[in-house]
Structure 1
Amino acid sequence: MAELDELDQKILAALSADSSTSTSRLSRRFKVARSTVQARIERLERSGVIAGYTVKLGQEMTLRRIRATVLLQVEPRTTPGVLQRLKAMPEVEVAHTTTGRFDLILQVAAETTQDLDSVLDRIGTITGVKSSESLIHLSTKFDRSM
Structure 2
Amino acid sequence: MTKNQELKTNYSSVKKNKTDNKILGLLRENARISITEIAQKTRNSRATVQKRIEYMEATSIITGYTVRIKPNLNPQLIQAWMSIMVEGNKAQAVIKELRLDPAIQTLHTTNGKWDLLVEIQSDNLVNFDLILSRIRSISGIYNSETNILLSTYKI
Structures share fold, TM-score greater than 0.5:
yes
Q: Which amino acid aligns with 1:29?
A: K
Which ranges of structure 1 fall in alignment gaps of 5 or more residues?
A: none
Q: Which amino acid aligns with 2:51?
A: A
C-alpha distance in 1 between matches for 2:65 and 2:98: 22
Query: How much has 1:108 moved relative to structure 2?
Result: 1.1
Query: How much has 1:55 moved relative to structure 2?
Result: 2.0
Identity in percent: 29
Q: Larger Cα Rg: Structure 1 or Structure 2?
A: 2
Is 2:93 the partner of 1:93?
no
C-alpha distance in 1 between matches for 2:74 and 2:29: 18
Residue 153 of structure 2 is matched in structure 1 by 143
Instruction: Give CA-to-partner distance per residue, 1:38-96, whole Å, 9 cap, x none.
Output: 22112111212112222222132254311222121112222233223323333222323
Instruction: Give CA-to-partner distance per residue, 1:82-122, whole Å, 9 cap, x none.
Output: 22332333322232333333211222111111221222122
Aligned residue among 119, 123, 130 for 1:111:
123
- The 5-angstrom pairing of residues 1-146 of structure 1 reads 3-61=15-73, 63-137=75-149, 139-140=150-151, 143-145=153-155
C-alpha distance in 1 between matches for 2:65 and 2:47: 20
Report the count of equivalent residues: 143
Instruction: Give CA-to-partner distance per residue, 1:8-55, whole Å, 9 cap, x none.
Output: 121111111111112232223334343332221121112121122222
C-alpha distance in 2 between matches for 1:5 and 1:117: 46
C-alpha distance in 1 between matches for 2:34 and 2:43: 14
Q: 1:28 to 1:135 in 2, by over 3 A?
A: closer
SS of 2:101's equivalent in the other structure is coil
Q: TM-score, normalised by structure 1?
A: 0.79
C-alpha distance in 2 between matches for 1:79 and 1:62: 33
Which ranges of structure 2 fall in alignment gaps of 5 or more residues?
A: 1-11
SS of 2:73's equivalent in the other structure is helix
SS of 1:94's equivalent in the other structure is strand
